[in-house]
Amino acid sequence: MARIVMKFGGTSVADLDRIRSVAGRVKRQLEAGDQVAVVVSAMSGITNQLVGYCEALSPLHDAREYDAVVATGEQVTSGLLAIALQTLGVDARSWHGWQIPMATDGAHAKARIEAIEGGRLIERMQGGQVPVVAGFQGLGPDHRITTLGRGGSDTSAVALAAALRADRCDIYTDVDGIYTTDPRIVPKARRLAKIAYEEMLELASVGAKVLQTRSVELAMKERVRVQVLSSFGSDAAPYENGRDSLPGTLVVDEDEIVEKEIVAGIAYSRDDAKVTVRRVPDRPGVAAAVFGPLAEAHVNVDMIVQSTGADGTTDMTFTVGKTDLARAIQVLQAARGDIQYGEMLTDADVAKISVVGVGMRSHAGVASTMFRTLSDRSINIQVISTSEIKVSVLIGVEYTELAVRALHNAYGLDVA
Amino acid sequence: MARIVMKFGGTSVADLDRIRSVAGRVKRQLEAGDQVAVVVSAMSGITNQLVGYCEALSPLHDAREYDAVVATGEQVTSGLLAIALQTLGVDARSWHGWQIPMATDGAHAKARIEAIEGGRLIERMQGGQVPVVAGFQGLGPDHRITTLGRGGSDTSAVALAAALRADRCDIYTDVDGIYTTDPRIVPKARRLAKIAYEEMLELASVGAKVLQTRSVELAMKERVRVQVLSSFGSDAAPYENGRDSLPGTLVVDEDEIVEKEIVAGIAYSRDDAKVTVRRVPDRPGVAAAVFGPLAEAHVNVDMIVQSTGADGTTDMTFTVGKTDLARAIQVLQAARGDIQYGEMLTDADVAKISVVGVGMRSHAGVASTMFRTLSDRSINIQVISTSEIKVSVLIGVEYTELAVRALHNAYGLDVA
10-residue mean pLDDT series, chain A (416 residues)? 95 96 96 97 95 95 97 98 98 98 95 95 97 98 93 94 97 88 90 92 71 91 94 50 59 86 90 94 86 92 85 91 94 93 95 92 88 95 91 95 96 89
Is A48 in the B-facing interface, judged by CB distances under 8 Å?
no
CB contact under 8 A, A83 and B143: no
Does residue B286 belong to any structural domain of this protein?
no
A130-134 vs A35-40, strand pairing mode = parallel
CB contact under 8 A, B50 and A82: no
Residue B146 forms beta bridges with which residues? Answer: B138
Give CA torsion, residues B187, B193, B199, B200, to 10 deg: 80
State residue A13's pLDDT score.
96
Neighbouring C-beta atoms of residue B179, cutoff 10 Å: 23
Is B51 in the A-facing interface, judged by CB distances under 8 Å?
no
Nearest Cα neighbor of A345 from A277, A290, A299 is A277
State residue A241's pLDDT score.
36
State residue B284's pLDDT score.
83
- List of residues 6+ apart from B111 with CB closer than 8 A: B67, B104, B105, B138, B140, B146, B147, B148, B149
* CA dihedral sign, ordered B404, B405, B408, B410: negative
Contact present, A144 and A230 (Cβ < 8 Å): no
Strands (DSSP E) along A270-364, which ranges? 272-281, 301-308, 313-321, 343-347, 350-356
State residue A233's pLDDT score.
63
A194-196 vs A249-252, strand pairing mode = parallel
Does residue A285 belong to any structural domain of this protein?
no
CA distance A106 to A109: 9
Mean pLDDT per 10-residue interval, chain B, length 416 residues: 94 96 96 97 95 95 97 98 98 98 95 95 97 98 93 94 97 88 90 92 70 91 94 50 59 86 90 94 86 92 85 91 94 93 95 92 88 95 91 95 96 89
Closest-CA distance of chain B to residue A129, Å: 14
State residue B236's pLDDT score.
37
Which of A 258-297 lie inside 8 A of B, CB atoms? none
- Expressed as residue numbers, the domain containing A158 is 3-254
* CA dihedral sign, ordered A319, A324, A328, A331: negative
What are residue A197's phi and psi, to 5 degrees?
A: -50, -50
CB contact under 8 A, B66 and A86: no
Q: Is the peptide bond before B131 cis (omega within 30 degrees of 0)?
A: no
State residue B208's pLDDT score.
56
Contact present, A133 and A38 (Cβ < 8 Å): yes
CB contact under 8 A, A64 and B93: yes
Mutate to test the interface with A, among B69, B77, B85, B108 (most CBs of A within 10 A): B69
Does residue B98 belong to any structural domain of this protein?
yes
B84: which chain A residues are within 8 Å (Cβ-Cβ)? 57-58
Per the structure, the count of domains in chain B is 1
Does residue B265 belong to any structural domain of this protein?
no
- Amino acid type, B22: V
Is A20 in the B-facing interface, judged by CB distances under 8 Å?
yes
CB contact under 8 A, A84 and B57: yes
SS (HEC) of chain B: CCEEEEEECHHHHCCHHHHHHHHHHHHHHHHCCCEEEEEECCCCCHHHHHHHHHHHHCCCCCHHHHHHHHCHHHHHHHHHHHHHHHHCCCCEEEECCCCCCEEECCCCCCCCEEEECCHHHHHHHHCCCEEEEECCEEECCCCCEEECCCCHHHHHHHHHHHHCCCCEEEEEECCCCCECCCCCCCCCCCECCEEEHHHHHHHHHCCCCCCCHHHHHHHHHHCCCEEEEECCCCCCCCCCCCCCCCCCEEEECHHHCCCCCCCCEEEEECCEEEEEEEEEECCCCHHHHHHHHHHHCCCCEEEEEEEECCCCEEEEEEEEEHHHHHHHHHHHHHCHHHHCCCEEEEECCEEEEEEECHHHHHCCCHHHHHHHHHHHCCCCCCEEEEECCEEEEEEEHHHHHHHHHHHHHHCCCCCC
Which H or E run includes A30? helix A16-31
Give the three-class secondary structure for A82.
helix
Residue A267 forms beta bridges with which residues? Answer: A354
Nearest Cα neighbor of A352 from A382, A387, A308 is A382
Interface size, chain A vs chain B, as Cβ–Cβ contacts under 8 Å? 106
Does residue B144 belong to any structural domain of this protein?
yes
CA distance B138 to B74: 11
Vertex A210: Cα angle to A65 and A33 (nearest 5): 95
CA distance B412 to B384: 22
Does residue A19 belong to any structural domain of this protein?
yes
Mutate to test the interface with B, among A76, A85, A90 (most CBs of B within 10 A): A76
CATH label of the domain that carries residue A230: 3.40.1160.10
Distances (CA, A) of A166 to A2, A55, A183, B327: 8, 38, 32, 54
Closest-CA distance of chain B to residue A6, Å: 20
Does residue A168 belong to any structural domain of this protein?
yes
Contact present, A104 and A140 (Cβ < 8 Å): yes
Does residue A358 belong to any structural domain of this protein?
no
B100: nearest CA partner in chain A: A143
